[in-house]
């Protein structure tokens, strides 16, 4: 293996070559050729029998060198070392070839020396295999990586080694990660996890294999005018979301806009949130600063191009632009309705309590035409590419779900006849009126219909609880953009089978409340839930008094599925034995469930804590009289879902 180095004499050059010389001692067969002039370098490249790997130090001859390398760039492994302030412009010019600061060469040299960096143990960080260094900024390296435990591709952002022992920088970096993690918007690329292993501090986010707006501009591939309006609408909506969260945003750039035809607004936006606050005017200016690049990218010969460009020009002028982010989003939606020849939907609120839809699209308010649900395409497209999906419809959120057993009706409501029972051996019995409880936990497929409704509705705020925080802008579950596409494909989530018939998870209390209200129902109280689970006269488990590990999907098998058949969630009708005599399933396991009840928080009796009931795949033991108390109604977990109830006969 040979490496060609262009580095004029000096302390930086000596450092670089010293590192390479050390690597020569450690790597048999490694040859290093150092060129002290641009002419020598270009001559060597032209005469080489095969394209060499190259390490270039930026100087006044860089443009000449880059011109000489132009024919070889696509097939060459190239790293450029430069001063910090030059890195952003150089990185934009060089695309996938990393540009790094002069002192930070350690990892870059190790990658360059590895023929297969993805299989090199030196390129591993905890459970992540680092495949390619994408960029090196003042604060972070950014890598393509694979989370090996679940074979998930990610972007990994690692705090630079020179900041590793700086407590203030680490604290600020962690605060920025926390700001990113708050963002829960369908158009924002989600943060998966943040990890501090005591030395390195890094976070991962969803890996997208799509062109960015910057790619289109760089390759001179214009976009349709309507796509430009979609980008503006998505950006305005995302910035409005961040405003509500009271976090700031880095300047939106073309490389932050991923173009995905099947997505809502046909794009998704990199998570640019960071700790701090910004006024709406500042965030609106952030959007205006992006507009020149959007205008530059428009196909000027396409239909409606003149109208859209004029609209964007007006938006850049503070005198004629919409006055806020929400009005900008509305203006974009109205323009799209005009250009795409469709009317904006008008939603009429129900005027009385007679509105009780039995099921989506059934009696009650008719649902508007469905739009595409948030990001079912990302994982699905990848799975399709490797032949794991056959005939999956990617243009909507209602792909074919697995066939239900003949005796299962996911919409079934079970009557729980009223009575009384003593809770926790209390002296006074609790009276329960007759009510109806969902036979099954709400499924991923059912919840997707709810999100479809919200996407197509212009006025769905009436579904929200009156105390819902203003910072909560939507009802998309945590990690939905990852697990929903897998469920539609019947793929594996974290190594385990997932379908549309599995329970929805990652929902907070506000989500559960809004869904139940959309269905014309409510959440069961803690007492109703327990009464249904234990029966009258009471028993210990839904099926009787004896604990049987195989009867419920719990963590009693160390969450490996060896006893109950499931290591994580299962279809809401499995195991079939987790069933009350009346026909309510899944109360002892699968996911725990939100209730309508609140109780004094043991850690602070002046506060109220919401009540979660039931066993789950995560819980090693099951006590149906016990309660879990999340911190607040905005909490969510991968093992908590819900079911609905009603006091009126649903038939």
> DSSP per residue over 354-393, as a string?
T---SSTTSSSSPPPPP-PPSS-SHHHHHHHHTT--SS--
Of 109 and 309, more confident: 309
- 388 or 46, higher pLDDT: 46
**Residue 279 confidence (pLDDT):** 92
CB 416 within 8 A of CB 582: yes
The whole-model pTM stands at 0.45
C-beta pairs of 69-72 under 8 Å, 24+ apart in sequence: 69/45, 72/45
Q: What is the end-to-end Cα distance of the chain in Å, rounded?
A: 76
pLDDT higher than 50, residue 146: yes
CA nearest 587: which of 550, 561, 624, 557?
A: 624
Domain 213-339 has CATH 1.10.510.10: yes
Distance CA 229, CA 260 (A): 14
What are the residue ranges of CATH 3.90.1580.10 in the chain?
378-646
- 87 close to 101: Cβ distance less than 8 angstroms: yes
Percent of the chain's residues with pLDDT above 70:
78
Q: What is the pLDDT of residue 537?
A: 87
Question: With 60 as the cut, is the pLDDT of residue 623 above it?
Answer: yes
Whole-number pLDDT of residue 17 = 58
Per-residue confidence band for 367, with pLDDT thresholds at 50, 70 and 90 = very low
Picking from 602, 640, 593, 594, the residue whose alpha carbon sits closest to that of residue 618 is 640
Question: Between the ranges 63-67, 385-389, 558-562, 641-645, where is the mean pLDDT highest?
Answer: 641-645
Q: Bigger pLDDT: 227 or 17?
A: 227
pLDDT at 491: 85
Per-residue pLDDT averaged across 460-471, rounded? Answer: 89
**Does the pLDDT of residue 12 top 90, yes or no?**
no
Residue 293 has pLDDT above 80, yes or no: yes
CA-CA distance, 499 to 489, in Å (whole number)? 7
pLDDT score of 514 more than 90? yes
pLDDT at 232 over 80: yes
pLDDT band at 2 (very low <50, low <70, confident <90, very high): low
Confidence of residue 552 (pLDDT cuts 50, 70, 90): very high
Q: What is the mean pLDDT of residues 270-286?
A: 92
What's the CA gap between 136 and 482, in Å, rounded? 27
Least confident range from 31-40, 476-485, 615-624: namely 31-40
- In this predicted structure, the answer to whether residue 408 has a pLDDT above a threshold of 50 is yes
H or E stretch including 132? strand 128-136
The CATH fold of domain 1-113: Rossmann fold (3.40.50)
Q: What is the pLDDT of residue 109?
A: 52
Q: Is the pLDDT of residue 126 over 70?
A: yes
The stretch 134-148 carries a mean pLDDT of 79
> Mean pLDDT, to the nearest integer, of 567-579?
93
* Percent of the chain topping pLDDT 90: 37
CATH 1.10.510.10 in the chain, residue ranges: 213-339
pLDDT given for residue 363 in this prediction: 25
- Write the DSSP assignment of 282-332 as a string of letters: HHHHHHHHHHHHHHHHB-TTSTTHHHHHHHHHHHHSTTTS-SSHHHHHHHH
> Residue 20's pLDDT is what?
56
Mean residue pLDDT of the chain comes to 78
> Which class would CATH give 378-646?
alpha beta
Q: What pLDDT does residue 581 have?
A: 96
Q: Are 535 and 416 in contact (CB under 8 A)?
A: no
pLDDT at 527: 94
Determine the average pLDDT of the residues in 367-377: 30
pLDDT class for 603, splitting at 50, 70, 90?
low
The pLDDT of residue 207: 84
CA atoms of 433 and 555, how far apart (whole Å)? 33
Are 110 and 3 within 8 A, CB to CB?
no
Residue 287: pLDDT above 70? yes
Cα–Cα distance list, 246 to 225, 283, 581 (Å): 32, 11, 49
């Amino acid at each position: 293996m040979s490496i060609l180095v262009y580095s004029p004499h000096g302390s930086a050059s000596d450092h670089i070559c010293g590192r390479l010389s050390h690597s020569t001692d450690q790597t048999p067969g490694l040859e290093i050729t150092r060129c002290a002039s641009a002419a020598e370098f270009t001559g060597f490249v032209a005469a080489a029998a095969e394209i060499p790997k190259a390490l270039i130090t930026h100087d006044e001859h860089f443009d000449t060198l880059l011109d000489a390398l132009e024919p070889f760039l696509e097939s060459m492994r190239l790293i450029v070392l430069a001063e910090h302030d030059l890195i952003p412009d150089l990185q934009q010019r060089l695309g996938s070839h990393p540009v790094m600061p002069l002192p930070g060469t350690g990892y870059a040299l190790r990658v360059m020396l590895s023929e297969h960096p993805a299989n090199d143990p030196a390129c591993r960080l905890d459970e992540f295999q680092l495949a390619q260094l994408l960029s090196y900024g003042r604060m972070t390296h950014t890598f393509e990586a694979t989370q090996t435990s679940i074979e998930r591709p990610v972007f990994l952002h690692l705090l630079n080694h020179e900041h590793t022992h700086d407590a203030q920088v680490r604290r600020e970096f962690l605060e920025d990660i926390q700001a990113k993690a708050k963002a829960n918007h369908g158009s924002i690329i989600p943060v998966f996890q943040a990890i501090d292993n005591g030395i390195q501090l890094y976070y991962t986010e969803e890996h997208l294999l799509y062109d960015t707006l910057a790619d289109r501009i760089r390759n001179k591939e214009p976009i349709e005018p309507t796509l430009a309006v979609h980008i503006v609408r998505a950006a305005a909506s995302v910035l409005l979301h961040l405003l509500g969260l009271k976090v700031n945003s880095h300047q939106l750039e073309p490389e932050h806009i991923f173009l995905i035809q099947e997505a809502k607004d046909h794009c998704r936006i990199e998570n640019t949130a960071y700790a701090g606050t910004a006024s709406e005017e500042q965030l609106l200016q952030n959007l205006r600063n992006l507009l020149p690049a959007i205008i530059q990218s428009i196909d000027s010969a396409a239909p409606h191009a003149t109208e859209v460009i004029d609209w964007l020009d007006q938006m850049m002028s503070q005198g004629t632009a919409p006055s806020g982010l929400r009005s900008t989003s509305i203006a974009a939606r109205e323009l799209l309705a005009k250009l795409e020849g469709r009317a904006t939907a008008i939603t009429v609120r129900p005027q009385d309590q007679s509105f009780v839809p039995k099921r989506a699209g059934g009696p009650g308010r008719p649902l508007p035409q469905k739009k595409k649900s948030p990001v079912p395409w990302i994982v699905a497209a990848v799975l399709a590419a490797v032949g794991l999906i056959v005939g999956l419809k990617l243009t909507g959120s209602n792909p074919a779900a697995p066939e239900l057993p003949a005796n299962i009706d996911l919409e079934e409501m079970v009557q729980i006849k009223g009575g009384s029972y003593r809770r926790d051996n209390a002296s006074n019995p609790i009276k329960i009126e007759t009510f109806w409880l969902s036979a099954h936990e709400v499924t991923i497929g059912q919840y997707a219909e709810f999100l479809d409704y919200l996407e197509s509705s212009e006025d769905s705020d009436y579904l929200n609880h009156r105390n819902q925080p203003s910072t909560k802008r939507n009802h998309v579950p945590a990690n939905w953009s990852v697990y929903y596409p897998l469920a539609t494909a019947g793929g594996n989530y974290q190594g385990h089978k997932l379908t549309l018939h599995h329970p929805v998870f990652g929902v907070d209390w506000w989500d559960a409340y809004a869904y139940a209200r959309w269905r014309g129902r409510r959440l069961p109280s803690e007492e109703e839930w327990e009464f249904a689970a234990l029966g009258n006269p009471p028993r210990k488990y839904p099926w009787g008094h004896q604990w049987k590990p195989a009867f419920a999907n719990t963590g009693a098998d160390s969450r490996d599925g060896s006893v109950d058949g499931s290591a994580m969630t299962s279809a809401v009708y499995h195991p079939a034995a987790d069933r009350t005599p009346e026909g309510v399933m899944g109360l002892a396991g699968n996911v725990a469930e939100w209730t309508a009840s609140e109780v004094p928080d043991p850690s602070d009796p002046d506060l109220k804590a919401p009540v979660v009931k039931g066993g789950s795949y995560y819980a090693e033991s099951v006590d149906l009289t016990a309660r879990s108390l999340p911190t607040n109604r905005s909490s969510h977990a991968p093992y908590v879902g819900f079911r609905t109830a009603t006091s009126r006969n649903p038939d």
